[in-house]
Chains A and B, each alone.
Chain A
C-alpha cells in the first residue's frame, strides 16, 4: 500500500484544554491516500465538519487548544507545526471548500481580488491571465467580466464554482469539501459534482468529502468513513459498504437514501435524536437508538476487520446484505 497523504491518529477535539471537557471528536483515526477520495458521512453534529477544519488547524481557539492526537500530513504532524509553517500548508498543500457559497465569499471585494489573492500565493506570474484561466476551468462564462463583479451578483451555484477555483488556485494535494453541495439545488448539485470529478482528475488531487448524503458518496467517493457522535463507526470501500454495510447505524443511514437501489422500507427510520456534545452515552454511542443493542454495548467496541479494508466498531455487526 502506498504511503498515505494524510494520516489521522486518535484525534480528539475537546471544548477546552481540560480532560473532562466534552469531546466533539473522540479518538478518530483515518487515512487518505494520494489521489483518493474519502467520503466522511454523518448526521449534523457528528463532528465531521470539525474534523475537516481541524486538519487545517482553523478551529476556534478554544477547540484548537483542546485538540490532541496526531494529524500527519506527508510525514509531518500538523498539530506540532509552528504557525508560519502551517500557513504555508493551507491553500498550497491542503485546501477547502465550505458549505454555504452565499457566505463564503467576502461581500465587499471583487471576485477578481479574492481569486488573485490566492493565485499570488501560488506564485503565478500573470495574475489576471491566471484568474481568467481559473474561472474558465470551473466553467464560468465571460470570466473577465466576472472578475470585476461582486459575489452578490452571482447565483449560488456560480459562487460555489468560484469558491472551488479559489480552493484550487494553489494546486493543493488534498481538497477538503465540507458539504459543498448541500446548499445547492438538485440539478446544480449534480453539475457541481461532475465539475469536482473533472477537477480532481486534472489536478490529480485527493479529496476528503464531507457529506450527510450517501447518494453523493456513491457518485464521487472511493472509500467512505461513517461518523456518529464524534467517532468513526465504520470504514470501507464504497462498493463494499453499499453491498455489505455491517454497522446498524450505517445500515439505517443507507436505508434512508432513496437514490440508492435499496428499498427504503426494509429498515425502520432511526428512532430518536443523535446525542448532543457533552451528553454522549458511554460505550458505543449509538446503542440507545440501536435495535440490536445489548448490555455489552455499554462498553466501547473494538475495531474489527470484517472484509477487505472494511472495518467496523460494533459488538453486533450485521451479516445480512441490505
Chain B
C-alpha cells in the first residue's frame, strides 16, 4: 500500500512538472508575450527593454529553470494587468471561494444523485425511473453557461427568490452550485442506478434476503455499500469536471474564484497569473485524484490487502 501511494505521488509530481513545461513553452513559443504586453505605439527600444526585463533574451531552458526555481519559492512573478500584484497571492486569495462553491456543488450532487439513483434502481421500469433517466439525459446535455443564464432569469429576475450573481450568504451559492453540479448529478444518478441494479441482482443480496432481512436493510446496507465503490472511483473525475466548468460558471455568476480569474487573466493576457492559475488548477486535479485513491483504499477491503 505504501508503494502504491509512493508511485501515485511520483506520478502526480511528474504530471505537474509536465504541465509546467507545457504552459511555459506554450506561452513562450506560440504566444508572443512581449507583443501582447506592449502598449500600442511602443518603440523598438521599449520592446528590447521589456524583453530584457522579463529575461526573455536568455536561452529557453535557462528561462524555464529560473521559472521553476522561482515557482518553488512561491514566486511566479507579478500580475501585468492587475497593478503589479503578486501573481501567486492573487490566485491563492481566490481559491477559498472556488473550493467553497465546488464543495457545496459536489456535496449536493452526491447526496441527491445517490438518492435518485437508488430510487430509480428500486423502481426500475416504472414512470419514476423513466423520468429520472430523462432528467439525467437532460443534465448531461445542457450547456452550463446557458443553464446559468436560464436559472438567473427564472429564479432571480422572474421570481426574485435568489440573488442574480455575486458572493455572499447561502443564497448566493444555490444557483451557481446547481449549475455547476447538474452535469455531475446526472452522471452520479446514472452510475448509481446501474451499479445498484448489478448489486440487487447479485448473490450476496440474495443471501441477505435469505437471512430474512428487511428490504430497506438489504438495499441500504448490502446493495448500496457496494454500489458506492464505482461512485468513489469516479469522484476524481467529477471533481475535475467541476473545477473545469468552474471557469464558465464563475464567469456567468460573477463568482470571485480562480475560474473567473483564469478567464479574466486569459482575456487580459496576464501570463504570470495564467501560469499560476493553470498550475494551481492542475494541482487540485491531481490532488483530487490522490484523495480518491485513498478513499478507494478505505472503502474497498479487497484493495486494502493488495499492493
Q: Are B301 and A117 neighbours in the complex by a CB distance under 8 Å?
A: no
Q: Give Cα A107–Cα B210 distance, bound, in whole angstroms.
A: 17
Q: Give Cα A169–Cα B213 distance, bound, in whole angstroms.
A: 13
Interface centre among A53, A108, A117, A150 (most CB of B within 10 A): A108
Across the two chains, which residue of chain A brings its CB closest to B217?
A117
Q: Are A100 and B203 neighbours in the complex by a CB distance under 8 Å?
A: yes
Q: How far is the CB of A188 from chain B (nearest CB, A)?
A: 19
> Which of B10-18, B222-230, B280-288 lies at the binding interface?
B222-230
Q: A152-B301, A152-B305 are in contact. Are A104 and B206 (CB under 8 A)?
A: yes
Q: How far is the CB of B225 from chain A (nearest CB, A)?
A: 5
B222: chain A residues at CB < 8 Å are 106, 109
Q: How far is the CB of A254 from chain B (nearest CB, A)?
A: 30
Q: Are A107 and B301 neighbours in the complex by a CB distance under 8 Å?
A: yes
B203: chain A residues at CB < 8 Å are 98-100, 103-104
User: Using a CB-CB cutoff of 8 Å, which residues 53-91 of chain B contact chain A?
Assistant: none
B229: chain A residues at CB < 8 Å are 108
Is B158's CB within 8 Å of the partner chain A?
no
Q: Are A105 and B212 neighbours in the complex by a CB distance under 8 Å?
A: no
- Chain A residues touching B, range: 20 to 34
Q: A108-B225, A108-B300 are in contact. Are A87 and B208 (CB under 8 A)?
A: no
Q: Are B302 and A91 neighbours in the complex by a CB distance under 8 Å?
A: no
Is B36's CB within 8 Å of the partner chain A?
no
Is A187's CB within 8 Å of the partner chain B?
no
A98: chain B residues at CB < 8 Å are 203, 206-207, 210
Task: Write the B200-237 contact mask toward A (1 if CB under 8 angstroms, else 0).
Answer: 01111011111111100000011001100100000000
Q: Are A87 and B210 neighbours in the complex by a CB distance under 8 Å?
A: no
Q: Are B213 and A96 neighbours in the complex by a CB distance under 8 Å?
A: no
A88: chain B residues at CB < 8 Å are 212
Across the two chains, which residue of chain A brings its CB closest to B226?
A108
Is B294's CB within 8 Å of the partner chain A?
no
Is A153's CB within 8 Å of the partner chain B?
yes
Task: Write the A234-257 contact mask toward B (1 if CB under 8 angstroms, else 0).
Answer: 000000000000000000000000
Q: Are A150 and B207 neighbours in the complex by a CB distance under 8 Å?
A: no
Is A167's CB within 8 Å of the partner chain B?
yes
Q: A58-B206, A98-B206 are in contact. Are A106 and B211 (CB under 8 A)?
A: no
Majority DSSP secondary structure for residues of A touching B: loop
A100: chain B residues at CB < 8 Å are 203
Majority DSSP secondary structure for residues of B touching A: helix
Q: Are B207 and A109 neighbours in the complex by a CB distance under 8 Å?
A: no
User: Using a CB-CB cutoff of 8 Å, which residues 90-117 of chain A contact chain B?
Assistant: 90-92, 95-96, 98-100, 103-109, 117
Is A170's CB within 8 Å of the partner chain B?
yes
Q: Are B212 and A58 neighbours in the complex by a CB distance under 8 Å?
A: no
Select which of A103, A117, A150, A153 is within 8 A of B211 by beta carbon. A117
Q: Give Cα A169–Cα B214 distance, bound, in whole angstroms.
A: 17
Q: Are A163 and B209 neighbours in the complex by a CB distance under 8 Å?
A: no
30 pairs of residues in contact across A and B, judged by CB atoms under 8 Å? A56-B209, A58-B206, A60-B201, A87-B214, A90-B209, A90-B210, A91-B210, A91-B213, A92-B212, A95-B210, A98-B206, A98-B210, A103-B202, A103-B204, A104-B204, A104-B206, A105-B207, A106-B208, A107-B204, A108-B226, A108-B229, A108-B299, A109-B221, A121-B213, A150-B302, A150-B305, A152-B302, A153-B305, A166-B207, A166-B211
Which 10 pairs, one residue from A and one from B, show the smallest C-beta to C-beta distance? A91-B212, A90-B212, A104-B203, A150-B301, A106-B204, A103-B203, A91-B211, A118-B211, A96-B210, A152-B302
Other than the known A103-B202, A103-B203, A107-B302, what 14 A-B pairs have Cβ atoms closer than 8 Å? A89-B212, A90-B211, A99-B203, A106-B225, A107-B301, A108-B226, A108-B229, A108-B299, A118-B211, A150-B302, A166-B207, A167-B210, A169-B211, A170-B212
Residues of chain B at the chain A interface (Cβ within 8 Å): 201-204, 206-214, 221-222, 225-226, 229, 299-302, 305
Residues of chain A at the chain B interface (Cβ within 8 Å): 53, 56, 58, 60, 87-92, 95-96, 98-100, 103-109, 117-118, 121, 150, 152-153, 163, 166-167, 169-170
